[in-house]
Amino acid sequence: MFITIGTGIVDKDGEDVSSKGRVVLLELTKASPTSSVVELNFVYEKKIFHGPVNSLSCLSCEGKNRLVIGAGADVNVEQWGNDKLTQVGFFRATMH
């Protein structure tokens, strides 16, 4: 089980057009099987170059969980495997 955190940096004028973000994955592990204490461990970080991370959601389908990342005008679908997030789908909105 993971906790995901999305970040973004907005410049001094409040603009997020040229900003970048990142996604951080923290794993939840029990200290022992009988304990109610949970530890957070840093697992992974991925830089997002399309803008600040605006939203994160889990997409469950056919027994697989994928992470949906909304960043700027992009929506990326990422799959966890081999100790990294890999993009398996995307949608890029046209901004006029």
What is the residue type of 61?
A: C
In this structure, how many other beta carbons lie within 10 angstroms of the beta carbon of residue 62? 4
Provide the whole-model pTM.
0.80
Q: Are 69 and 20 in contact (CB under 8 A)?
A: no
pLDDT digits (tens, 9 = 90+) for 15-58: 655 678 899 999 998 878 888 888 999 999 999 888 889 999 99
The residue with tokens 């997030």 is 85
The secondary structure element, H or E, covering residue 82 is: none
pLDDT digits (tens, 9 = 90+) for 48-84: 888 889 999 999 988 889 999 998 888 999 999 899 9
Return the DSSP state at 1: -
Main-chain phi, psi angles of 44, to 5 degrees: -160, 150
Q: What DSSP assignment string belongs to 11-51?
A: -TTS--TT--EEEEEEEEEESSTT---EEEEEEEEEEE-SS
